[in-house]
Structure 1
């Protein structure tokens, strides 16, 4: 007994249209949810007026070490022993930045010695100047 079916066998298909609908729905959902995260409600407040709008930024102290080991602070040539006292005179606060400009051919021991003297002077912000690679 052979029973024949009148049904046509269909191959399973991937329904792409409903997937596109779901993707667009998710995109819209995340778009609106991120817009809500940016907006922050706050209470209205009358802020006080400051007598000085900008905070004073201390002028940095530039220390230069040349190839021959000469140390200069600003335009004044100093010895290694004078660095601490000279930096203490020029720095108003410990937040005054010091920029160390050393030639690439200077011995690193000389640079470390100058950094130690700057640290003894109480300076907490020390930057080493470099050039960008070309």
Structure 2
């Protein structure tokens, strides 16, 4: 017993528009979710504001100097001699090793230059100074 005629069947159609909408939705969802996955571990500090600073995505060491002169490697307090030893060891393993320094805008300039000088004495030649955008 046949209910329909074989010739009355239509060919199946693929609906492209709803599939494109779903793909764009997934693309936007994953783009927004990955923005919140990037977690930079730092200590809050008042950095100077600049207009023409460049953003660096790949940073080996992120060092923070607070107004009182205390040093932090990412979010952990560290002694200067330990920082220099770790940086020197990392430089031996990676020739493109770089240190980015986040310094308080009200700190003594002499302290910052002293740290840069001691890092250079330890063999570190690539530096970056971080700032906030205006």
Q: TM-score, normalised by structure 2?
A: 0.49
RCO higher in structure (CA 8 A, sep ≥6): 2
TM-score scaled by length of structure 1: 0.49
